[in-house]
Amino acid sequence: MMTRLSVNINKVATLRNARGGNLPDVEQFARDCERFGAEGITVHPRPDERHITRQDVLLLRDIVTTEFNIEGNPQSQFTELVLAVSPAQVTLVPDGLDQLTSDHGWDTKANLDYLIPVVRRFREADIRVSLFVDPIPEMVEYARKAGADRVELYTGPYAEMYDHDPKAAIAAYRPAAEAAKTCSLGLNAGHDLNLRNLNALVTAFPWIDEVSIGHALIADALYLGIEETIRRYKYTIHNYEITTD
């Protein structure tokens, strides 16, 4: 099994929105990421449309040919948009309106009664559901009880720990990663992953189905270009050279 790279293109929309025109062109960027080897495209439309807009999501529906993953808090506007677009996957995140970025996962135990019908609604529409959780085995187990197909482990703390103690960072995530396997849940990972910390994670947990990466990858692309950046991320994940012709 191979870990797939889903490129989160939020930051490209942030840059575009800074001037109000269509530069850079977010939709063309998604096409090019796929052409250069991305195995998925992720967006996180927020109610204030500060990066990805509702219109972007509707346009991307007809553009993305790999796995389209839409992240967000399942309030009514988000849910209607996702059901209209019918992506391969929805990643449910408990983020607040004023949050800079996602910084914690669901308490799937405390929110079980809330999550069960929410998850069911997407699954009945044939959309795979992933729940964003902190690396706690119990949160993974309750994601299973909520009916999710996958969990996405919040890797912000992993990235922070990795910089001073890589072994401890992996050890801290092992119980939750193993729990996903034991529960027969698919496993995604995301947040603050980069070219330094990615290989250790996917090597320790080769059953990770997908990593979704935005901030560091787009920052790397400023220096390397997006084609070379995607090539390097895939090389890092798969440990082999990818040709892009």
Residue with smaller CB distance to ligand PXP, 141 or 210? 210
By CB under 6 A, residue 132 contacts ligand PXP: yes
By CB under 6 A, residue 150 contacts ligand PXP: no
First to last CA, the chain: 24
By CB under 6 A, residue 99 contacts ligand PXP: no
By CB under 6 A, residue 129 contacts ligand PXP: no
Q: Which residues contact 244 (CB under 8 A, 6 or more apart)?
A: 35, 36, 37, 227, 230, 231
CA dihedral 179, 183, 189, 191 (to 10 degrees): -70
Q: Among residue numbers 160 through 189, which ones bind ligand PXP (CB under 6 A)?
A: none
Residue with smaller CB distance to ligand PXP, 11 or 238? 11
CB of 49 to ligand PXP, least distance (A): 14
Reference 23, options 12, 9, 8, 10; nearest CA is 12
Residue nearest to ligand PXP (CB): 190
Angle at 229 between CA 225 and CA 232, to 5 degrees: 145
State which of residues 41, 90, 93, 221 lies at the interface with ligand PXP (CB under 6 A): 93
CB of 245 to ligand PXP, least distance (A): 27
State which of residues 65, 77, 99, 101 lies at the interface with ligand PXP (CB under 6 A): 101
CB of 101 to ligand PXP, least distance (A): 5
Positions annotated as catalytic residues are 44, 71, 191
Q: Print the binding letters for residues 39-78 with ligand PXP: x by CB under 6 A, - otherwise.
A: -----x--------------------------x-------
Residue with smaller CB distance to ligand PXP, 212 or 229? 212
Residue with smaller CB distance to ligand PXP, 10 or 66? 10
Q: Among residue numbers 192 through 221, which ones bind ligand PXP (CB under 6 A)?
A: 192-193, 212-216
By CB under 6 A, residue 91 contacts ligand PXP: yes
By CB under 6 A, residue 8 contacts ligand PXP: yes
Residue numbers of the site for ligand PXP (CB under 6 A)?
Answer: 8, 10, 44, 71, 91, 93, 101-102, 132, 152, 190-193, 212-216
